[in-house]
Structure 1
């Protein structure tokens, strides 16, 4: 054996697929090491003789790498490029080494070898499963001062970075005919098959190279060539096809409704000096017609005393480190197994020159072929034996073996111990798709059964072990004409989770089921004794299979031990929920571009540029930037609003109303549909007319309001509140698709398609008339609440005669691209007539003067149309609409409900605070009985006094009554008044 060797781990010359001439330097806990390009952090550390890679979460026990894949629970590292680019909890088995990488271990102090937190291991009797549910309940007052700070400091493994993330992330949407998750033998075959049909195919694999199990399995041949070589050629062939996208270093982390798949592509995490133009990671959101799950299977560990020492790992992991990375995990290696596949790891290591101390097989009759092959190489095979304990402090030094049922033990010196309890099909994504599983009792495993979505599971994740059957299954899943054949040296047998059932009966030893959370077999047993009989309860009591692990390694053992304790079959105990993400996903990837200014993207109307030129001060209304007011030199906000209010009433004002929600409701049943969604009747509305509409929820409370114009028998232009547009659209779609699917109606959101220019005031008609082509705007021809399609300055337009100010008003709707040009023309005329631009604050004052409500400000989700003084908008003839039953509930018909009324302060210059509470007696003891609260309050320049609107219990019966609004430093007297403060007869609105 030729090797570059250090104590306990070494790289074997000529082994593996990495190129020795291409190296990378990195540091681990401050010490420098050399790796080969393509190494993972785990393989590089093992090659340098480092097995101690971390400390466990609860007991701070020494831990080494357990696996070679995404299921790794132990070797979680802090990986950094510099002080600003640092990522905690990175799996060493997945992270590729790059030149200059700064790697640090976690969850230890002061050093990895000497961790003071290891005292927890000595105090472990105090930390039995569920201890936190019992310990931190008393004394009650100690929680905030004592327990919570300690728990918060102890929570988690890594330390989250405090610096701003300097990297950027990308987001991509894609559609395909077939998405194949997993690029092992099955996935590659299915992708080739599907691609041959001309289908758009996306093939995804989380590793840097395709091949799956072929990365470690050198005994399989496909189409007459070594399996790994065939896999690389198959991938190259797929990448050359224009209808195929191959994504490596990409994890399918979530499977959602309607074949919606979430992927995370690690774009630059492996590069030493990534270009600034490249994102660190890319989020793919894919909608696939069909999903092929070829996610393989995960090797099970063995549950025995002290099975967590550094140097103990899965047999397939050791085989991967040897055959792919050229690294031996030890110089004297033991094997403990309940499955034939572990023999192949021993055989590969032996042939590479590594001393195999013994293969310990807890079965009495393992596969004859693998046993013969092992013994022919001089390997001792102990069938019907078990490993009952291990020794070693920071690294395993020996395993203690006993014949099953015997108390006589034998200690065998080893520096690494490989284990295999069989293989668990990786059904996480299938379960996320809401598929139902079945239990394969013969092999102690759950398999996909009932598919809810258009997907198919193939290969190892489907329990297909035979290579020929796997190839046929994968080819059929792709649906194309392809012929692939293969051979493998051994046929695997065995795999017993029953081997774990007896573990944990000795309460003095720790036999770990969940390495990440330090859950032992005795913890599972304790949970059952404490009354946890559901696996979901056991999971939460013990934390088995929680967090990033999601039960990849621990679930089946936990189930087996619980089933044994309960005297039930495993399926009767149940199976925990496999939640997305399959493996952890960074916040940066999920957020992508939504950070900084784009965290909550501002929406700007087509007129925003013109408003900014005019000096508008803007406010945020939802995501919209709306003109708040237009200050002139020397004016503060109050002065500007007062001027705007006076000008609109005296002359005219121009306002940007583009943010109003707009929905096109079209179809022969459009009026019938609106009849069902609104409280008003719409079949009586004639084309060319508008009507104010109230929309209620099923409980009868106001949901939204707006003006609806009927353009034709089968077409309505619906407006909604600015903030309500998305939810009203969703509300309509929900009812159309689920409750009224028989109606022939089509809904289209047109909010951003129309620029809306509101012209309000006595001179509004004079301002726009010369710009409107072919439409008589007189009161007789075009009265209030009319709508017409016309042209304005030659631009197709919809003109509404409506008002939210109580003045003569028009709203000009033109296509968004023409908005600025039409605005300029209208403003040029308006400015020449002495009009003004006005913003949302002035609009609020003017509408309050007229008693018009704003849904969401004057309503709070508990206000009915009658409470708001809008009972006239509820049809008395309609037999059905959304909310009709809710409105008939006795509680919603009480006379003393809170009702919207006007409020006038005794001191006319006193402006109430919105939200102020209203009481009948300000001298009553606290807590006072509240009658309601102030919903809107303003100074009205046109009235020369303050005005307010409030919700008051039995408000309409209290007209003229004096009530009180207690403020922080005084009590304000108010008189209950009518909500309409200005132009009570409404003459101005009719021009």
Structure 2
């Protein structure tokens, strides 16, 4: 044996070396190695640090159950992937891996001081600690906690890889390609149906890969499957979720096992598979044992040690002790001995051992300790020895070793079965939950079904110990640092359901989803509560089965294909003129147009002053637009909106409020009647699709007798808002066929004619409180018309303005923005829009809800204005409001700020807020507690500018 590499054996190709780095140090392995096996072969026992206490952690398992050895793999700029399990990372030339959750180094981690302070950080400590002094939370506690949170670091640069996605249909889908899965695939394929066989490992075979006696059969079976045209075999593919009607989602890793230079094509592919039958052959996961020191690097599962030795040709130690409560531990020990691993002793809590196993061990020269248990492990960064005692409480005896293997029994992998709502039953012979009933055409085979002979054993993972439970440092969840005594503490705190115990202790809530900890935690809780396991409950398994990259889940739907960015036809002009953008729903909109060295505040102030004193031009093309046409169009809108529409004359506009059935505002907009049977509706930018869908739903399901057609015309029209005292002067030279005089074309009217020689629908409406027109022209002419208006506007000192200025101007006038000044629980009356509700209308959507007791009850939050005592103090939107700033914490909140700006027009700050009983509080001073200070503000009407409307109607 060279180092920890066995002289022969394994499935690695010893002719091909792979060079890689771990924590910056050059290492090497063989083709076919995993990152874990290659490092173990070099004698690396320390792989990571635990989450809470930063205790040293080594390899526990050999597959996706691994909770400790999480690494970050860096494949170049944008290709940094954190939280990968070292046993599941295929070795390739140039692999660059680093350990996680340590500072500054893995061996010398200064944050490991947490382990010395562990008495202060028991389960649920975050619910009881950091409460005093209050001021320290923001300045001390929170920053520290946030810096310590998490494991690996998320990548910060753009992902340069691309991803694939596909759909597949088959008669039979088998998840898991071990012996049982392969046998099921061969049987299903022989019947002629389409078969898909998937497995998460680099090659199919499952447990057979660690059993040389099955390699010849495996080679033949693999070749037979490859020769079948109706069989698709997907290795490196993880079934991450099972959904209704046998819909399975799987993620295939296409190039992660290759160097960047070798990789061609997509990095990963997402498979969406619909199958007539699903067969789960996912095997079982060996359980660790719970005893003092079970987390020291070098303590691992016996099955993992067998995998490393027989599949990868790596010994996990030079002198190994096995702690078993199950026959499988003896089988693994004997197999390891045969492979050349020095097994010094087998310790088994059971006094009665199968005679053939005991005899084989003695014949191999292995010391046997029936009836004994490991009570402690010596060593911190690596195992140096163990202490054993008869029945775990007798006089201790020390054994020298550098690795300790645990064999605590097996848990069927039932995650996907549970995803499909399959029920589970407790099986005493397994000491675990096994599949029971399902409503899907779904079945389990092999170990996954609880139908595999691993031998017999005890079912409890907690070993007897000389220390009482509350003093023990025996770990259940290795990644989250959950100890057996934490579960006892949770019970002491009053928790009884395993779901509550899980959340209080975080047992099973790490990245491995409790694959090795759930059942031990359940059995410990059962013992503490003195109740059967079946009465404690069972945690819920949720997709994904293992963590997946966002790229894999998105597939083709990445960046613009995931969230298409919509741009108006005027967008390029805005970019050419220095616009700073913001995203509004799916649209990119100009937020402001800075000049020179202006910041946003200066630019917005200038734009506001220009609109109020002269004229501003605004791209309003993103507003939703719906054409409503038909003999019953007016009747339809009369039922949809709160106010009356039948009486609206052609050529006139009306502000409309749209409610949900609950009576709360969901959208608003100004709409026009173009003809007796035709309306031009506008919606909010983000509400266009939602409103159209809602209207179509009512039209097709509730009022199918109405003769009405709905057409989305959002992108058909470019909309240019010209706002300000000189708006009429700017568009007059360009408009043909429309009398723009105030008498002929009053506020809230619409006219059709031409502008710059093209068709236009010209609205006299305003969202600024100034004289305003909205020019609607076919989108293909939008840029040309905008430039013509802009050129004419320059004669009058016009400025282009963006959404930020629009927000300020409308707030000065007291106009609401749905979704900002409403929160999904605001009625028309709450928003001060009771005048927009038709009191005489027989019905409209949401009408009945407006009479519910809680809707008409006094004290509801109402929209009001706020003027701060300090005119230069700008409140934070979302800030909470109290009546008495001196009341004890927690204070009684009576409202919150919805909109807040500095008004260049008024020379001071203004705000709008939803306040309980707000309209009855006019003139009252309220208070807004902020970090470090409290701001006082007077309640006023929310209309701060031109309350008489003289500017609007000019």
TM-score tier, shorter chain, comes to: 0.7 to 0.9
Which residue pairs with 1:271 in the alignment? 258
- What's the offset of the Cα at 1:214? 2.8
Question: 1:882 and 2:873 equivalent?
Answer: no
Indicate if the aligned counterparts of 1:607 and 1:820 stay in contact, CA closer than 8 A.
no
Which residue pairs with 2:168 in the alignment? 176
Q: Distance in 2 between matches of 1:765 and 1:714?
A: 30
TM-score after normalising by structure 1: 0.72
Question: RMSD between aligned alpha carbons?
Answer: 6.2
- What's the offset of the Cα at 1:946? 11
- What's the offset of the Cα at 1:552? 0.8
- What's the offset of the Cα at 1:973? 14
Aligned to 1:497, the other structure's residue is in SS state: coil
Which residue pairs with 1:775 in the alignment? none
Q: Distance in 1 between matches of 2:927 and 2:613?
A: 29
Indicate if the aligned counterparts of 1:616 and 1:631 stay in contact, CA closer than 8 A.
yes
Which residue pairs with 2:426 in the alignment? 439
Q: 1:912 to 1:257 in 2, by over 3 A?
A: farther
- What's the offset of the Cα at 1:89? 4.6
Q: 1:915 to 1:28 in 2, by over 3 A?
A: closer
Q: Distance in 1 between matches of 2:672 and 2:953?
A: 22
- What's the offset of the Cα at 1:318? 1.9
Deviations 1:22-70 (A, max 9, x none): 1022344565433102212221122233334445556665543111011
Which residue pairs with 1:230 in the alignment? 221
Which residue pairs with 1:493 in the alignment? 455
Aligned to 1:548, the other structure's residue is in SS state: coil
Q: Which of these residues, 621, 634, 639, is aligned with residue 658 of structure 1?
A: 621
Which residue pairs with 2:515 in the alignment? 552
Q: Which of these residues, 777, 780, 804, is aligned with residue 820 of structure 1?
A: 780
TM-score after normalising by structure 2: 0.74
Indicate if the aligned counterparts of 1:913 and 1:934 stay in contact, CA closer than 8 A.
no
Deviations 1:814-838 (A, max 9, x none): 4xxxx23465268659968989896
Question: 1:323 and 2:310 equivalent?
Answer: yes
Q: 1:948 to 1:408 in 2, by over 3 A?
A: closer
Q: Distance in 1 between matches of 2:716 and 2:875?
A: 36
Question: 1:706 and 2:669 equivalent?
Answer: yes
Which residue pairs with 1:49 in the alignment? 43
Aligned to 2:15, the other structure's residue is in SS state: coil
Indicate if the aligned counterparts of 1:26 and 1:33 stay in contact, CA closer than 8 A.
yes
Deviations 1:351-385 (A, max 9, x none): 334444454554566678x7399469747695963
| Aligned positions of 1:28-47 closer than 5 A | 28=22, 32-47=26-41
- What's the offset of the Cα at 1:523? 3.8
Q: Distance in 1 between matches of 2:200 and 2:833?
A: 59
Q: Distance in 2 between matches of 1:984 and 1:632?
A: 31
Question: 1:458 and 2:444 equivalent?
Answer: yes
Which residue pairs with 1:475 in the alignment? none
Q: Distance in 2 between matches of 1:448 and 1:328?
A: 35
Which residue pairs with 2:684 in the alignment? 721
Q: Distance in 2 between matches of 1:119 and 1:913?
A: 44
- What's the offset of the Cα at 1:693? 1.7
Indicate if the aligned counterparts of 1:129 and 1:542 stay in contact, CA closer than 8 A.
yes
Q: Distance in 2 between matches of 1:141 and 1:840?
A: 39
- What's the offset of the Cα at 1:949? 9.9
Which residue pairs with 2:70 in the alignment? 76
Q: 1:217 to 1:707 in 2, by over 3 A?
A: farther
Q: 1:728 to 1:396 in 2, by over 3 A?
A: same
| Aligned positions of 1:793-942 closer than 5 A | 803-804=765-766, 812=776, 814=778, 819-821=779-781, 823-824=783-784, 839-840=801-802, 854-855=817-818, 864-866=827-829, 870-876=833-839, 877-879=841-843, 881-882=845-846, 884-886=848-850, 889=853
Which residue pairs with 1:208 in the alignment? 202
Aligned to 1:65, the other structure's residue is in SS state: coil
Q: Which of these residues, 567, 584, 593, is aligned with residue 622 of structure 1?
A: 584
Q: Which of these residues, 13, 16, 29, is aligned with residue 19 of structure 1?
A: 13
Can you give the 5+ residue segments of structure 2 that lack an aligned partner in the other structure? Answer: 878-883, 888-893, 929-933
Aligned to 1:547, the other structure's residue is in SS state: coil
Q: 1:193 to 1:722 in 2, by over 3 A?
A: farther
Q: 1:729 to 1:440 in 2, by over 3 A?
A: farther
Q: 1:415 to 1:755 in 2, by over 3 A?
A: same
Q: Which of these residues, 352, 356, 364, is aligned with residue 339 of structure 2?
A: 352
- What's the offset of the Cα at 1:493? 3.3
Q: Distance in 1 between matches of 2:137 and 2:952?
A: 62
Q: Distance in 2 between matches of 1:812 and 1:975?
A: 33
Q: Distance in 1 between matches of 2:872 and 2:139?
A: 41
Which residue pairs with 1:572 in the alignment? 535
Deviations 1:483-532 (A, max 9, x none): xxxxxxxx433354225374686456544322223434344334434443
Q: Distance in 2 between matches of 1:853 and 1:969?
A: 23
Which residue pairs with 2:374 in the alignment? 388
Q: 1:524 to 1:640 in 2, by over 3 A?
A: closer
| Aligned positions of 1:561-640 closer than 5 A | 561-579=524-542, 581-585=544-548, 603-612=566-575, 615=577, 617=579, 619-620=581-582, 622=584, 624-626=587-589
Q: Distance in 1 between matches of 2:492 and 2:7?
A: 50
Which residue pairs with 1:314 in the alignment? 301
Aligned to 2:43, the other structure's residue is in SS state: coil
Indicate if the aligned counterparts of 1:911 and 1:938 stay in contact, CA closer than 8 A.
no
Equivalent residue pairs, number: 914
Deviations 1:880-937 (A, max 9, x none): 522642366587587998567999x9xxxx99998699xxxxxx9999x999998788
Q: Distance in 2 between matches of 1:671 and 1:67?
A: 69
Q: Which of these residues, 421, 424, 427, is aligned with residue 414 of structure 2?
A: 427
Deviations 1:724-773 (A, max 9, x none): 44665687799999x97999999886644654456896596995668x9x
Aligned to 1:342, the other structure's residue is in SS state: helix
Q: Which of these residues, 371, 379, 397, is aligned with residue 357 of structure 2?
A: 371
- What's the offset of the Cα at 1:720? 1.0
Aligned to 2:538, the other structure's residue is in SS state: coil
Q: Distance in 2 between matches of 1:289 and 1:313?
A: 37
Q: Distance in 1 between matches of 2:181 and 2:830?
A: 62
Deviations 1:764-803 (A, max 9, x none): 6995668x9xxxxxx9999976799x999999x9957563
Which residue pairs with 1:99 in the alignment? 93
- When structure 1 is superposed on structure 2, of 559-568 and 388-397 the one drifting more is 388-397
Which residue pairs with 2:931 in the alignment? none
Which residue pairs with 1:517 in the alignment? 480
Can you give the 5+ residue segments of structure 1 that lack an aligned partner in the other structure? Answer: 467-490, 773-778, 918-923
Indicate if the aligned counterparts of 1:76 and 1:106 stay in contact, CA closer than 8 A.
yes
Which residue pairs with 1:341 in the alignment? 328
- What's the offset of the Cα at 1:134? 5.7
Indicate if the aligned counterparts of 2:330 and 2:357 stay in contact, CA closer than 8 A.
yes
Q: 1:608 to 1:982 in 2, by over 3 A?
A: farther
Q: Distance in 2 between matches of 1:549 and 1:258?
A: 27
